[in-house]
Chain A
């Protein structure tokens, strides 16, 4: 089952605070696109989801993000905002009636931003390392090294979860917050990597806190309909791997 919004452009859920002229350019499989979708759901903001295809980039995307030419792009009242973390912060600042995504205390905000940067710059690239390793000659060794890196990162994140959650269900405390969105958006790809490699990355032994957190996150109302299915992500991953292995065009 695809995400409800995977076909032609249509109005998405969350009409309680219907705001005119909110569009999101993205693709259902992208963890980065998932982030603003969760944020908009938390704020109960309705938006038009304009699905990009894997094969080519739409004119609107190229126009709205000429610098990086990447999704997601939020278009609010015809003004584009790019980069998933920046978009989430923007959503939090514009729609102040809904629950807050970032903490209000400046120090807690700095900590949340720190973990978001760690997840994006250090931890997620190590997951890609596992998928890439599959396509190489010495794949067993490369995969083992990559898995070790990911697991070590998860132990760090388990500690961060203990500190940030302070005994509650999410990094953000009682409710989903910034770090939950940043890490949670990678859960689909993490599970897919676990399945394709026959490993448990988030496991009861080393990261019990994160196991409970992951279940809670995926079941959350703001998340469940935008979290892609593992099987569908497997298909995408196989497509990407095939591209890596394909001989260069003559």
Chain B
């Protein structure tokens, strides 16, 4: 019995509370896959395709925000997607580093991930939560922001250099939303930002990414449901 207890203590128990369509959850999934970490995936229930039916475990583990994703590592919860990704990088530091080791480079990576968080999702929302002329400011701002990111990418294959890094993980899930933005907004992101779209395609060739992201049609379906529910469509 003592021997059994010791075995359990030594094993890492990792649980992810998530929703497959969530871009924030996807970030954590990509990080876990890049590091080859085994974990139990728990999908939160959804009513009517869009309303989250929050499990008691979620409410217990994230009482402040009551949101996914939540990583539970050996019983202890970590919340907020980028904080979780940083935690994963620090704990499982033996392979596939996501953040650079140089403090200045690390600060730059955190800056651009923060930029993605502050700007991209909100710009996209301004597009799909509106219609017609009201979408224009969102479209313009999104393209401006994506062009800035293209500038940061430069000629590197990934934002992280030769391998996936923190900024790649932060931005990639939002790429699944591009199809929805383009269809709702009737414009092409690829025409404006070909380098960024090429980067996304390159990333999608990696199994860790492919298996972690929802299908863009599912994302579009979700957005249509929200537009119908809020009376935009």
Chain A residues packing against B (C-beta within 8 Å): 67, 76, 79, 81-83, 86-87, 89-90, 93-94, 106-107, 109-110, 113-114, 117-118, 156
B104 part of interface (Cβ distance < 8 Å): yes
Is the pair B104, A113 in contact by a Cβ cutoff of 8 Å? no
B207 part of interface (Cβ distance < 8 Å): no
Is the pair B106, A93 in contact by a Cβ cutoff of 8 Å? yes
Contacts A83-B111, A86-B110 given: A117-B90 contact, CB under 8 Å? Answer: no
A82 to B78, CA, bound (A): 26
Is the pair A110, B103 in contact by a Cβ cutoff of 8 Å? no
Nearest B residue to A106, CB-CB:
B90
* Beta-carbon contacts under 8 Å, B31-90 to A: 64, 73, 76, 78-80, 83-84, 86-87, 90
Contacts A106-B90, A109-B87, A109-B90 given: A114-B80 contact, CB under 8 Å? Answer: yes
* Neighbouring B residues of A118 by C-beta, 8 Å: 64
* Neighbouring B residues of A83 by C-beta, 8 Å: 110-111, 114
A114 to B27, CA, bound (A): 17
* Neighbouring B residues of A107 by C-beta, 8 Å: 73, 76, 78, 87
Chain B residues packing against A (C-beta within 8 Å): 64, 73, 76, 78-80, 83-84, 86-87, 90-91, 103-104, 106-107, 110-111, 114-115, 148
Least CB distance, B81 to chain A, in whole angstroms? 11
Is the pair A113, B64 in contact by a Cβ cutoff of 8 Å? no
Which of A81, A82, A106, A114 has a CB less than 8 Å from the CB of B104? Answer: A81
A216 to B80, CA, bound (A): 30
* Neighbouring B residues of A110 by C-beta, 8 Å: 78, 83-84, 86-87
Q: Which of B83, B106, B114 has the most CB of A within 10 A?
A: B83
A31 to B43, CA, bound (A): 40
Is the pair B115, A67 in contact by a Cβ cutoff of 8 Å? yes
Least CB distance, A5 to chain B, in whole angstroms? 23
* Neighbouring B residues of A156 by C-beta, 8 Å: 64
Is the pair A93, B103 in contact by a Cβ cutoff of 8 Å? yes
Is the pair B91, A90 in contact by a Cβ cutoff of 8 Å? no
Nearest B residue to A160, CB-CB:
B64
A117 to B110, CA, bound (A): 14
A249 to B167, CA, bound (A): 42
A86 to B114, CA, bound (A): 9
Q: Which of A89, A106, A156 has the most CB of B within 10 A?
A: A106
Q: Which of B78, B80, B103, B107 has the most CB of A within 10 A?
A: B107
Least CB distance, B230 to chain A, in whole angstroms? 23
A163 to B148, CA, bound (A): 41
- 17 intermolecular pairs with C-beta atoms under 8 Å apart: A67-B115, A76-B104, A81-B104, A82-B111, A83-B114, A86-B107, A86-B110, A89-B107, A90-B106, A94-B103, A106-B90, A106-B91, A107-B73, A107-B76, A109-B90, A110-B78, A110-B86
Is the pair B87, A67 in contact by a Cβ cutoff of 8 Å? no
Contacts A110-B84, A110-B87 given: A90-B107 contact, CB under 8 Å? Answer: yes
